[in-house]
Amino acid sequence: MKKTFEQIRLKNLTAANRLVRSATWEGIAGPDGGIPGEAYEIYKELAGGGVGVIITGFTSVALHDDYFGGMMRLSDDALIPQYQKLAQTVHEGGCPVIAQLALGAYYRNADGRYLQVEPDGMTEEEIHRVVGQFTDAAIRAEKAGFDGVQIHAAHFFFLSRFISPAVNHRRDAYGGTTENRSRILLEILKGIREAAPSLHITIKINCSDFTFGGLDEEECLAICRLLDEAGIDSIEVSGNGTSVAGIRAHASEGYFASSAAKIADAVSCPVIVVGGFRSLDTMEAVLNRSRIEMISLSRPLLREPDLPAKMQADPGTVSKCISCNRCYSSPAHRCIFRGRDLK
The least confident of 163-167, 175-179, 209-213, 332-336 is 332-336
Distances from the Cα of 48 to the Cα of 3, 42, 52, 78, angstroms: 20, 10, 10, 28
Give the model's pLDDT for residue 332: 84
Domain carrying residue 138: 8-333
The answer to whether position 2 is within a domain reads: no
Closest CA to 186 of 127, 126, 227: 227
35 pLDDT exceeds 50?
yes
The answer to whether position 178 is within a domain reads: yes
Rounded Cα gap, residues 1 and 21, in angstroms: 23
| CATH code for the domain in which residue 325 is found | 3.20.20.70
Give the model's pLDDT for residue 12: 97
Sign of CA dihedral 56, 99, 188, 31: positive
The answer to whether position 342 is within a domain reads: no
What would the pLDDT profile of 279-324 be if each residue is shown by its tens digit? Answer: 999 999 999 999 999 999 999 999 999 999 999 999 999 999 888 8
Sign of CA dihedral 146, 147, 151, 157: negative
Give the model's pLDDT for residue 343: 41
Averaged pLDDT, 147-168: 98
The answer to whether position 1 is within a domain reads: no
Is residue 313 a contact partner of residue 304, using CB atoms and an 8 Å limit? Answer: no
Give the model's pLDDT for residue 11: 97
What would the pLDDT profile of 54-106 be if each residue is shown by its tens digit? Answer: 999 999 999 999 999 999 999 999 999 999 999 999 999 999 999 999 999 99
The answer to whether position 343 is within a domain reads: no
Rounded Cα gap, residues 111 and 295, in angstroms: 46
Look at 241 and 121; give whichever has higher pLDDT.
Answer: 121
The answer to whether position 74 is within a domain reads: yes
What would the pLDDT profile of 213-239 be if each residue is shown by its tens digit? Answer: 999 999 999 999 999 999 999 999 999
Indicate the number of domains in the chain: 1
Phi/psi of residue 272, nearest 5 degrees: -115, 145
Rounded Cα gap, residues 72 and 40, in angstroms: 12
Facing residues of 122 across strands? none
Distances from the Cα of 106 to the Cα of 56, 109, 256, 327, angstroms: 21, 10, 28, 27
At residue 110, the 3 state secondary structure works out as strand
Rounded Cα gap, residues 66 and 108, in angstroms: 11
Phi/psi of residue 47, nearest 5 degrees: -65, -30
Averaged pLDDT, 20-34: 94
The answer to whether position 338 is within a domain reads: no
49 pLDDT exceeds 50?
yes
191 pLDDT exceeds 70?
yes
337 pLDDT exceeds 90?
no
Residue 249 pLDDT level (bands cut at 50, 70, 90): confident
pLDDT over 70 for what percent of the chain?
A: 98
The answer to whether position 76 is within a domain reads: yes
Q: pTM above 0.75? A: yes
